[in-house]
Amino acid sequence: MTIRFDDRVAIVTGAGGGLGRQYALELARRGARVVVNDLGGDRTGTGASDAAQAVVEEIAAAGGEAMANGGSVTDYDQMVEMVARAKERWGGVHILINNAGVLRDKTFAKMEPADFEFVVRVHLIGSAFATKACWETFRAQNYGRILMTASSTGLFGNFGQANYGAAKMGLAGLTKTLYLEGAKNDVRVNTLAPTAGTRMTEDLFPAEAFKLFDPAKVVAAALFLVSEGAPTNQIVASGAGVTAAVNVTLTPGKLLTGDDLSPEGIAANWDAITDRTGEIVPKSGAEQGMLAAKALQAG
């Protein structure tokens, strides 16, 4: 069955280039009306340009409908304004892809606190602000699809990207609570960890890999995750045409009592504690407490 977005309004943040532009183009091609948000700065988040407008013109030239928005995701009022403009013109907003991002890489030893804060502000706080600006609309209409953009750095780590990694893992955490709070109103929330050759990765990838990791190859996973039949609470990795699932798991653990419940007891039982046999993927934080209760009951 063809996945279409007719009668849907989608906001893609940071859609003036890279991955966001690809998402916006394909959403529009499949019938969505798209808000192309981007303030058009450089990779570090400095400066501004009309990158969003250029993508809107590209969409229009292909017969689609889009509007540009030059607001910064770090400014909550601008996000509220962006949603208001979309609703005014098209009567609603149904999809939000939080994609805007910047890099200020340095080892933690050399990183200025301000650069840590700025990167967390754009990725994590910016995604929360854009989401918050849409949230009541999604709840009121009993429909919303939200995609957070994480990264392998956040999920698994990468030398020199402490600020970025912290923000990106934070987004997976945001997904895990918002999916619970949105479930009653059919608001589904997922996280995508893309790998793509864009300006963000141009000095990381050799030329050959850069081509293999064409950002267009991430579009399929992103669009599926904001479609009507999307799952919820999923973390998906996508790059070069390979799509994979990422899970946060919990081992069955080990019940210790008396003298064994000591740092020495933990050390002595470390292998059993970390044994992954029978590990689960909890659907909410409550399952951690339930696991302990069950272990106590079993004695």
| 164 assigned to active site | yes
Nearer to ligand NAI, 143 or 167 (CB): 167
Under rule CB under 6 A, residue 155 binds ligand NAI: no
Binding mask 74-113 for ligand NAI (x = CB under 6 A): x------------------------xxxx-----------
Site for ligand NAI in 189-248 (CB under 6 A): 194-196, 198-201
Of 159 and 270, nearer to ligand NAI (C-beta) is 159
With the CA atoms of 199, 98, 63 and 81 taken in that order, what torsion angle do they form, in degrees rounded to the nearest 10? -120
Taking the C-alpha atoms of 236, 92, 120 and 190 in order, what is their torsion angle to the nearest 10 degrees? -20
Site string for ligand NAI, 25-54 (x = CB under 6 A): ------------xxxxx-x-x-----x---
CA angle (118, 121, 123) in 5-degree steps: 110
H-run or E-run covering 244: strand 242-246
The answer to whether residues 183 and 205 touch, using CB atoms and an 8 Å cutoff, is: no
| Of the residues 5, 10, 20, 25, which one makes contact with ligand NAI according to CB under 6 A | 20
Contact pick of 53, 72, 137, 191 for ligand NAI (by CB under 6 A): 72
Contact flag: residue 14 with ligand NAI (CB under 6 A): yes
> Minimum CB separation from ligand NAI for residue 102, in Å?
5
Cβ proximity to ligand NAI, 40 vs 160, nearer residue: 40
Q: How far is the CB of 41 from ligand NAI (least distance, A)?
A: 5
d(CA 285, CA 179): 12
Of the residues 23, 143, 164, 179, only one is catalytic, namely: 164
Crossing angle for the helix pair 126-140 and 76-90, nearest 10 degrees? 40
Residue owning tokens 């005014």: 88
Tokens of 26: 């394909």
* Among candidate residues 20, 9, 79, 70, the one with its CA nearest the CA of residue 41: 70
Residue 161's CB is within 10 A of a number of other CB atoms, namely: 23
Nearer CB in complex with ligand NAI: 12/230: 12
Distance from C-alpha of 239 to C-alpha of 152, rounded to nearest angstrom: 11
From the CB of residue 157, how many other CB atoms can be counted at a distance below 10 Å?
Answer: 11
Residue 282 found at the interface with ligand NAI (CB under 6 A): no
Nearer to ligand NAI, 42 or 264 (CB): 42
Active-site residues, by number, are: 164
Q: Give contact residues for ligand NAI (rule: CB under 6 A).
A: 13-14, 16-20, 37-41, 43, 45, 51, 72-74, 99-102, 122, 126, 149, 151, 194-196, 198-201
